């Protein structure tokens, strides 16, 4: 273990960094008293306070203390200083399941074992009223014995958080793994949406790739909403039938956890001892009534490494335009919300009725601005102020419906990956479409990854 010369609270020694995200880093650590390897998640308190995620952090702590199961990463202790929050957690030596499946499909027995352990863990969480809401191979770890461990409850929720209709309404998760009802923003059952994610994971275990995948996020959403996927020939018939029941776009008819565990393929080779351990964990959890739900009092600062983050999938309710002096981050759900809407009617508007088009681009914001400056110059258009991620292109000569004005808005997904929206704000629609087709789009081809809502 790489020794960084830092000891936390005179209890845990820091080692090498294992992973990072936007708000935390995870380190390998050692319990000085027992010598046991642990994982130490270090959260930057200032960052989570700044973006309003302190309640989410508290909820993650509360949930992890409620879930005591052999297939869930255990939270041992939570500590805090004025600037950092520390999670001392179970260490999974085998790393992410994602690393295994990224190398290709797994053998049936291995895939079934992981799926069995996943279902037992998720079913236990549901029995405690907890819904993970971000199940994916990156959030499934393996211990030194090759057993699966569910982790990262940052987006989880308790059933007490549902609205009066008994449903959740927060759009969260990872798009390729979320159920269609989550993206629709009409309210969803946390249990049924977790089951869908388990089905996507089962597909990935057997095939090594996602069932719903497309460079165009809107097209991917269409595939998810219709459960439009193709199962390779090597997937056993029993698994295909089970997948069809799990990846049912209608949550009301989607298979339940109970039915999954009664499935003959699922039960094959199931470790009865493990099942008993799962049931025993449930009984132990019922007896545990001393769950601490708040972060411990802030302690004096100590010399620990400066730290950001473990992989957190945070989804904002409202998208924000890019400000070139202060960058705002985006995620795929925000991209979808920038489309013509979740009622799906906008996705099928005829091309001749549209007055906007979007594209994704693997260039920096400044590169995109420079490209539109070039286009404006070639078209003899005036370039307006660039503010809040918006560029205005104006054609001085008036057409039959007044002067043509085009607005270009840039939305940041990462520093080098953007969504760009080109819209006619004033002027003649036919002139706009003609200019877009003959002049603007050809000039943009060298920087465009994919068009969304493409015009003719």
pTM of the model: 0.64
In whole numbers, what is the pLDDT of the chain averaged over residues? Answer: 79
Separation between Cα atoms, residue 323 and residue 365, nearest integer Å? 10
Query: What burial letters (b/e) apply to 247-264, b meaning 16+ CB within 10 Å?
Result: bbeebeebbebeebeebe
Cβ burial of 215 (10 Å; 0-12, 13-18, 19+) is exposed
* The pLDDT of residue 274 is above 80: no
Separation between Cα atoms, residue 286 and residue 130, nearest integer Å? 14
- pLDDT tens profile 210-245: 999 888 888 888 899 999 999 999 999 999 999 999
Report residue 47's pLDDT band, with 50, 70 and 90 as the boundaries. Answer: confident
Separation between Cα atoms, residue 89 and residue 78, nearest integer Å? 9
Please say if 152 is a catalytic residue: no
* The pLDDT of residue 290 is above 60: no
Which entry of 44, 134, 189, 248 is annotated as an active-site residue?
134
Least confident of 79-83, 296-300, 310-314, 336-340: 310-314
Least confident of 61-70, 228-237, 271-280: 271-280
Report residue 279's pLDDT band, with 50, 70 and 90 as the boundaries. Answer: low
* The pair of three-digit structure tokens given for residue 74, joined into one six-digit string: 């255990």
Find where tokens 């994919």 sit: 450
- Any known ligand binding at 41? yes
* The pLDDT of residue 295 is above 80: no
| Of 221, 227, 228, the residue nearest 248 (C-alpha) | 227
pLDDT for the residue 383: 84
pLDDT for the residue 60: 87
pLDDT for the residue 126: 96
* The pair of three-digit structure tokens given for residue 207, joined into one six-digit string: 């095939």
The domains found in the chain, sorted by start residue, are: 7-90 (3.30.200.20), 95-275 (1.10.510.10), 332-452 (3.30.310.80)
| pLDDT > 90 fraction of the chain, expressed in percent and rounded | 41
Least confident of 50-59, 75-84, 120-129, 330-339: 330-339
Separation between Cα atoms, residue 128 and residue 65, nearest integer Å? 11
Task: Please give the residue that has the higher pLDDT: either 380 or 456.
Answer: 380
Report residue 280's pLDDT band, with 50, 70 and 90 as the boundaries. Answer: low
């Amino acid at each position: 273990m790489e020794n960084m010369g830092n000891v936390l609270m005179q209890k845990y020694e820091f080692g090498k960094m294992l992973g990072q995200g936007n708000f935390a880093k995870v380190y390998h650590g050692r319990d000085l008293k027992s010598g046991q390897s642990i994982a130490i998640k270090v959260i930057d308190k200032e960052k989570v306070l700044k973006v309003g995620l302190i309640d989410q952090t508290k909820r993650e702590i509360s949930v992890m203390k409620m879930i005591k199961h052999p297939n869930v990463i255990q939270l041992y202790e939570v500590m805090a200083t004025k600037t950092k929050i520390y999670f001392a957690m179970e260490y999974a030596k085998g790393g992410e399941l994602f690393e295994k499946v990224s190398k290709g499909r797994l053998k049936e027995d291995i895939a079934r074992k992981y799926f069995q352990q996943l279902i037992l863990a998720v079913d236990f969480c549901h029995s405690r009223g907890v819904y993970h809401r971000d199940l994916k191979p990156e959030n499934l770890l393996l211990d030194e014995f090759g057993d699966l461990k569910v982790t990262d409850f940052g987006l989880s929720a308790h059933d007490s958080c549902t609205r009066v209709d008994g449903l959740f309404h927060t759009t969260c998760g990872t798009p390729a793994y979320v159920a269609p009802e989550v993206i629709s923003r009409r309210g969803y059952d946390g249990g049924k949406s977790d089951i869908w994610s388990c089905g996507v994971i089962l597909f990935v275990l057997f095939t090594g790739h996602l069932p719903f995948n497309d460079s165009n996020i809107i097209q991917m959403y269409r595939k998810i909403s219709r459960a439009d996927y193709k199962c390779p020939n090597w997937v056993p018939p029993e698994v295909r039938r089970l997948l069809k029941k799990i990846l049912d776009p209608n949550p009301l008819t989607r298979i339940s956890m109970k039915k999954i565990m009664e499935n003959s393929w699922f039960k094959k080779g199931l470790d009865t001892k493990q099942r008993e351990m799962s049931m025993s964990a449930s009984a132990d959890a019922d007896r545990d009534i001393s769950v601490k739900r708040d972060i411990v009092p802030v302690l004096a600062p100590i010399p620990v490494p400066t730290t950001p983050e473990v992989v957190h999938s945070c989804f904002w309710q409202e998208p924000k335009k890019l400000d070139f002096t202060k960058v705002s981050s985006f995620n795929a759900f925000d991209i979808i919300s920038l489309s013509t809407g979740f009622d799906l009617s906008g996705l099928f508007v005829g091309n001749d009725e549209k007055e906007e088009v979007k594209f994704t681009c693997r260039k920096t914001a400044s590169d995109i601005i420079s490209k539109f400056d070039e286009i404006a110059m070639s078209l003899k258009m005036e370039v307006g102020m660039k503010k809040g991620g918006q560029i205005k292109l104006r054609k001085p000569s008036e057409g039959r419906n007044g002067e043509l004005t085009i607005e270009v808005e840039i939305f940041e997904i990462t520093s080098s990956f953007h969504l760009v929206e080109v819209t006619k704000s004033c002027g003649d629609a036919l002139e706009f479409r003609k200019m877009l087709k003959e002049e603007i789009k050809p000039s943009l081809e060298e920087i465009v990854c994919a068009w969304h809502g493409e015009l003719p």
